[in-house]
Amino acid sequence: MLDKLKEKGQGVQAKVSELVGAAQVRGADEVARLAAAIAALGPDLAELGYRVVGAKVTLSVPPSAHFRIAGLTTPVDPARFDALAARRADDITAVALFRALKHVAGVQARVDIPGLRADRAEISLAVPPAISLLFD
């Protein structure tokens, strides 16, 4: 009886190890995809007068990407965000980022803190997504 339990336990342990290994491979693939998406966004953001000044990719379930964007004091027509999102429709990370930036631009136009300006934002493409305007 003890041998059967031990054998079943080893089988479960092997299955768990297999699942963890598969999750690590998928996670590494997702991190590579997010890193490539971050690199590809540079030229599009430059068109808006923005730039990526920091990025973080978190290997979790699900993986997440966090961007620090600067240059937000440049006014941008909201239609330009839509055009860039449409141009990059095959890249879900880019589409999510452009939608978030459109939201940031709208909020930024309505928020005024005397003596401070929001030139940067942190955008987390995670569950749940989050946007932080950084006032300096």
Residue 126: pLDDT band with limits 50, 70, 90 = confident
pLDDT at 2 over 80: no
**Which pLDDT score, from 0 to 100, does residue 35 have?**
76
**Which pLDDT score, from 0 to 100, does residue 122 have?**
94
Mean pLDDT, residues 44-73: 87
**Which pLDDT score, from 0 to 100, does residue 57 have?**
80
**Which pLDDT score, from 0 to 100, does residue 10 have?**
66
**Which pLDDT score, from 0 to 100, does residue 8 have?**
67
pLDDT at 118 over 90: no
Residue 88: pLDDT band with limits 50, 70, 90 = very high
**Pair 92, 119: CB distance under 8 Å:** no
pLDDT at 25 over 70: no
| Beta strand segments in 1-136, E | 51-58, 64-70, 118-125, 130-135
What pLDDT digit, counting tens, does each position of 9-18 carry?
666 566 655 6
Edge to edge, the sheet with strand 51-58 lists 51-58, 64-70, 118-125, 130-135
**Which pLDDT score, from 0 to 100, does residue 98 have?**
94
Total domain count, the chain:
1
Range of the domain at 57: 2-135
Whether this model's pTM surpasses 0.85: no
pLDDT at 31 over 60: yes
Other beta carbons within 10 Å of 89: 10
